[in-house]
Amino acid sequence: MSLKNRFLKYEHRRQPLLSRRAFLRRLAYSSLLALLLLAIWLILGMFGYHWLAGLAWMDAFLNASMIVGGMGPVDLLTAPAAKLFAGVYAIFSGVIFLGVFGLLIAPVFHRFLHRFHLEAEEKL
């Protein structure tokens, strides 16, 4: 079984509960994917703010991270291209945030539901 299938494919409800060690590995893999997605998105935002708004790299990092964190931009943008980028980046940052949250919570939620179904089948 490939690495991707091992960590992203969840067990069927009739299969036994995953061991704690395997679950923690799955959780770590999901966390790593979430971190990678966030890092790529942050770097994309830094490049956009640097090239389109003319901000220094540190200011571009600050603005991109504040948008990703949901706080809003720090610097005033004057160029139309920079404003358009900031708007689109803000909208998609919300989508990225939800995706990252889903990646982090999916293994925990699946384990909870899997355990619930196993216990319900034992009572029948």
Each domain of the chain, given as residue ranges in start order, spans 34-123
| Separation CA 32–CA 75 (nearest Å) | 31
Residue matched to tokens 């061991």: 19
At residue 69, φ and ψ (nearest 5 deg) are: -75, -5
Fold of 34-123: Helix Hairpins (1.10.287)
pLDDT of residue 3: 58
Nearest to 84 by CA among 44, 43, 52, 62: 52
How is residue 94 written in tokens?
A: 């919300």
38-79 confidence digits (pLDDT tens): 999 999 999 999 999 999 999 999 999 999 988 988 999 999
pLDDT of residue 45: 97
How many CA atoms does the CB half-sphere of 77 hold within 13 Å? 24
**pTM, to two decimals:** 0.79
76-121 confidence digits (pLDDT tens): 999 999 999 999 999 999 999 999 999 999 888 888 887 776 665 6
